[in-house]
């Protein structure tokens, strides 16, 4: 995995889907090299049309979780597959996946406990479904792998669209 150094600031009036797809494409292009296949992705939690990013600190994580408690929100992931030929020409196939997560009501005690685990520190929306944050989710509609971080079905379709067979690609093992 090679992190891409890009500006992740949303543009004025940029909707969440356009935002995550743009970031996924920029990340993939930023690290593409001749003869490579690169996957770029970006996930946002969206509540009432507002993108909830990673928390700035644990107090911010607690505020976000209080907002999500007892409510439904969207998890939107942009995915881009960049295929670079040996001459450096880049082809990008991109798209997005959207899932809906419904949280149980969260007590202050639950939020304080979870935030103290440190799991919320680097997570969009201040939780990770694959860890202890999974205790909060009452229901997930759509791709669970999307909420965890990378929508595998969407990735497979985009790779196919880009001419990459995941099952026989040299990096698949």
Catalytic residue among 7, 42, 57, 121: 42
pLDDT for residue 173 is more than 60: no
Q: What is the mean pLDDT of residues 24-50?
A: 95
Q: Which residues contact 56 (CB under 8 A, 6 or more apart)?
A: none
Number of domains in the chain: 1
How many beta carbons lie within 10 A of that of residue 167, not counting itself?
7
Residue 42 among the catalytic residues: yes
Q: Which domain holds residue 96?
A: 16-165
In a domain, 150, yes or no: yes
Cα-Cα-Cα-Cα dihedral sign, residues 8, 13, 15, 16: positive
Task: Name the residue with tokens 């790779």.
Answer: 159
Q: Note the pLDDT tens digit of each residue in 97-147.
A: 999 999 999 999 999 999 999 999 999 999 999 999 999 999 999 999 999
In a domain, 140, yes or no: yes
Q: Output the average pLDDT for the chain.
A: 94
**Alpha-carbon gap, residue 16 to 37, rounded angstroms:** 26
| CATH code of the domain in which 114 resides | 3.90.950.10
pLDDT for residue 169 is more than 80: no
The answer to whether 115 and 65 have CB atoms below 8 angstroms apart is yes
What was the pLDDT predicted at 153? Answer: 94
Which tokens in the block code for residue 51? 């993108």
């Amino acid at each position: 995995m090679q992190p891409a150094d890009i500006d992740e600031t949303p543009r004025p009036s940029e909707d969440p889907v356009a935002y995550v797809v743009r970031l996924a494409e920029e990340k993939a292009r930023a690290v593409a090299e001749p003869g490579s296949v690169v996957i770029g992705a970006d996930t946002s939690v969206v509540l009432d049309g507002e993108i909830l990013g990673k928390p700035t600190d644990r107090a911010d994580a607690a505020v976000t979780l209080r907002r999500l408690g007892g409510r439904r929100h969207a998890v939107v992931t942009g995915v881009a597959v960049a295929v670079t030929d040996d001459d450096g020409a880049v082809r990008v196939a991109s798209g997005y996946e959207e899932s809906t997560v419904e949280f149980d009501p969260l007590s202050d005690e639950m939020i304080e406990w979870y935030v103290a685990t440190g799991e919320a520190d680097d997570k969009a929306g201040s939780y990770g479904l694959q860890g202890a944050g999974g205790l909060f989710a009452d229901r997930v509609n759509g791709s669970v792998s999307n909420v965890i971080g990378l929508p595998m079905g969407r990735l497979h379709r985009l790779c196919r669209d880009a001419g990459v067979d995941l099952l026989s690609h040299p990096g698949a093992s």
